[in-house]
Structure 1
């Protein structure tokens, strides 16, 4: 085996990390191997390994983002130092690998071909695991559609399995996600400088791009050229459209027996995909674990990396090395916001009933059921001045909890606020909103958000969601807005706040208000949205929640 030290840049980055376990071995590096795909296409691969005698299990890490920073130190070096062979491979058409990158169409076959190549390597002992975040999680699910017998463990970190849900929510385009994915896929595998330059260019031109009429093709100003795969993803909002056929390998979890650990953050733009896969794994009886931290899509691999790495390493050692000493005693561990503490749980979501808090006149939020469903209040959503997005679950650095005070001062944002809590309130599980709405056009988006208001009046987002009203009728309609899930403690003296608005731009493309496609619309229609009595924020109440009357749950 031709052995080198890992790249200097990787060793320098490795030296900056703290709170990581001490290395057990010195890492070696065998770069630039050509692994043949089934059609002969060379897939460029780097091999990291412990520089020691003996048998070690292998981890397969397949990436469309290149093989150097940060993947080389985070996955190649760190896991090799802990006693694993690491095969770090550039996906087809990226990072020097041959062929054309065709989003989500080649990963299953190329993963199987790589495992076939592994079987021929003298250092491969027949024990295989997979690990990685985001699209590096997608390729794991693709391999799991027909898992090779050598696959003994998976660790999917802030992972993707449903491409449609990455780009669309109930007919609304997740515009900011789409642009971030475009930059990442087009530039990250070209190196740090190219990726940083494209990211800065996008931020400088973001407003012009996201307010262009029509929106279609406007991204070219930042990305440099048209990307057919991105155009296709943005132009097909219907999950049943043939465009998405075969794109999601999520069904692999429904029959999987490979022990799988899932890691996400409360403000990860893919958090709901992780919850969906965890539910599938549990129903299938697959050994599984779930870790949910106070992270975004990117901070999970930065500020959260010590916890993410420790969780991943413990799972892989338990199932590849027969060493369960690092496993925690429960299947689920979640970080509780507001309390800033970790809580171990037997399952997710916890058993809970939904408790309604009703919108009331004067901007109040009350536990009392209203007597009727008469019109309560309204707002005007103007696509020419769209309600801006502030934080929340994204895959960009703008994600996370933020002060919503300025947002809530806008005339197109309704707020309903409960009284100061007399004792702490734990909200743990899925959150939703049930609204009765009428509009003057029959077309609108509805954005709902749960916030924690401290005694000084600072309002910070906890979780949120968006749904579309596209009946074309002006009569009142019932709309349910899934608002993801949370584990959050509202402290005594704090208040619960519910926001209702007509969008969050540019996180979501603005609704044209007239039924036209948000991608192709050139004319926009302001919409008057009327909220009726009986509309409610639904909070989970379980065995661990506070109990009581008004001001409590």
Structure 2
């Protein structure tokens, strides 16, 4: 059954606790200058917000002492303990903004059933209708938050209310189905881990919580190894995440099941300034870039920040960048008491060098730099001879493992040493010569492979890595595609993740080709049976015609 919580509680005012003061100080209290703390705030807990179907949601109001600069609305399913409150509410309340922290239905005392993303459009509209009637509401508000808290913003933006002044959206999708099946296969590890976290997030006890967090990756790794995929959540989630089976079995994205999670209409309807913040290693990176490009194409005031972070890393490692930017955005567009401090709409870090730069738009102008794989494992500037091939076998019983890449886990995702991956027999590895000077690449790399397979059911995973002077390899950009049966033989074009990277002088560019990346994506079982419910496995033998294959890098400077 979906997760259900009772509606309860009566609003009660209270002062900010000592623990909350400490967490506020540690997370954002040390910001200086125009971003410094300006006021204290009080907390009114468990406000009751009625929904149109009779369900009552609970919310906390962080009320600044003194005049308000406007209201910030935050809606999410994770509850608002002292840590989450500091990150999502205290940051704004201690700078003079009223903040309303609303708990999604079925979570942390809010009534109804938690069915991820299904009711967020109606619940957003009903929350704003309630907000309008509050005596402390000044008539203008902004939305803020990341991940699911960003999805709830896109839900509101499908029918934006006139009081909305701005949006701050971090690491969030607007079309969950396309994220869940990015490349055509189910994104297994991240969404099983998320389901596990949600299923157990309200368990009490510090030791229980710490133990679950410490063992989360190990338990998820054990669970994803089991087949069939559709039931691998049963044990780890204790039967509390029925949505996971729906996600894995409903593979037609035109199925009405996915409609409430498809919020693309918001990209055409939003009219307010939007700040988008993400990381090069975030699981939702592609959709954030898509959001930016769509809004910019409409002529909206949209800004984009991309750091070196994973999905969760933006809240920790990224806070020194994203927090001041968020406060500046609110000061300019909600409070309207400051001028724009952002020098350009786009603020990105160049990985490899670690340098931040400001750009008028993304991506910057670039030229194609083409590299060709060769049978000796080299990567050169000239195409391989006719007839040159490379081959490997993908075995779903021993699937090619994930090493780093976009994701949520701070332990296993992000930039990782993938040297061991390049040595596997089921991975083709092509490495270029040492660069005589730095090479800057920004945009979307593309790999074209003249590929054939003895099995019509196959995936392709490609990666660009950088090999340093000591021979250690680290991932830079990945691409993945599940091939349809009529695509397994012929030229396959794989677009990799957006990137902005500077390959150092003396380093070497490496291209990896494999038949999967498990457990980030589910493994291809190699049969025509339902991949969600089948347990049968069949390997696939691959041949790549090197003379028809190449890597295309968008180079901005050399």
* TM-score bin (small chain): over 0.9
Other-structure match for 1:451:
465
Q: Work out the CA distance in 2 between the residues paired with 1:312 and 1:455.
A: 39
Report deviation, 1:263.
Answer: 0.1
Other-structure match for 1:408:
422
Selected match of 1:230 from 244, 247, 250: 244
Matched, 1:38 2:52: yes
Question: For each residue in 1:53-85, what CA deviation from the matched residue of structure 2 results, as whole angstroms up to 9, or x when unmatched?
Answer: x24300000011112143211122221011100
Question: For each residue in 1:336-381, what CA deviation from the matched residue of structure 2 results, as whole angstroms up to 9, or x when unmatched?
Answer: 0111110100111223343321111211111213454x35101111
Other-structure match for 1:12:
22
Structure 1 residues 17, 226: closer, same or farther in 2, change over 3 A? Answer: closer
Native 8 Å contact 2:274 2:301 kept in 1: yes
Report deviation, 1:461.
Answer: 0.3
Other-structure match for 1:501:
514
Aligned length in residues = 541
The two structures, once aligned, show a CA RMSD in angstroms of 1.9
Other-structure match for 1:551:
none
Report deviation, 1:46.
Answer: 0.1
Other-structure match for 2:6:
none
Selected match of 1:252 from 243, 266, 270: 266
Structure 1 residues 195, 135: closer, same or farther in 2, change over 3 A? Answer: farther
Selected match of 1:526 from 503, 514, 539: 539
- Structure 1: segments with no counterpart, 5+ residues: 547-553
Q: Work out the CA distance in 2 between the residues paired with 1:425 and 1:384.
A: 39
Native 8 Å contact 2:441 2:555 kept in 1: yes
Report deviation, 1:188.
Answer: 2.9
Matched, 1:428 2:438: no
Question: For each residue in 1:465-492, what CA deviation from the matched residue of structure 2 results, as whole angstroms up to 9, or x when unmatched?
Answer: 2112231687x32212221111100011
Q: Work out the CA distance in 1 between the residues paired with 2:220 and 2:13.
A: 45
What is the SS of the residue equivalent to 2:199?
helix
Selected match of 2:527 from 514, 518, 527: 514
Matched, 1:351 2:379: no
Question: For each residue in 1:76-119, what CA deviation from the matched residue of structure 2 results, as whole angstroms up to 9, or x when unmatched?
Answer: 22210111000001011111101111222211111111111111
Selected match of 2:107 from 94, 101, 104: 94
Structure 1 residues 472, 522: closer, same or farther in 2, change over 3 A? Answer: farther
Selected match of 1:175 from 188, 199, 222: 188
Report deviation, 1:541.
Answer: 2.5
Selected match of 1:485 from 468, 484, 498: 498
* Higher alpha-carbon deviation: 136-145 or 523-532: 523-532
Other-structure match for 1:185:
198
Q: Work out the CA distance in 1 between the residues paired with 2:424 and 2:254.
A: 37
TM-score (structure 1 length as normaliser): 0.94
Other-structure match for 1:550:
none
Other-structure match for 1:50:
64
TM-score (structure 2 length as normaliser): 0.93
Q: Work out the CA distance in 1 between the residues paired with 2:353 and 2:307.
A: 13
Q: Work out the CA distance in 2 between the residues paired with 1:12 and 1:277.
A: 36
Report deviation, 1:191.
Answer: 6.0
Report deviation, 1:409.
Answer: 1.2
Native 8 Å contact 1:513 1:526 kept in 2: yes
Q: Work out the CA distance in 2 between the residues paired with 1:481 and 1:192.
A: 47
Q: Work out the CA distance in 2 between the residues paired with 1:192 and 1:160.
A: 32
Report deviation, 1:234.
Answer: 1.5
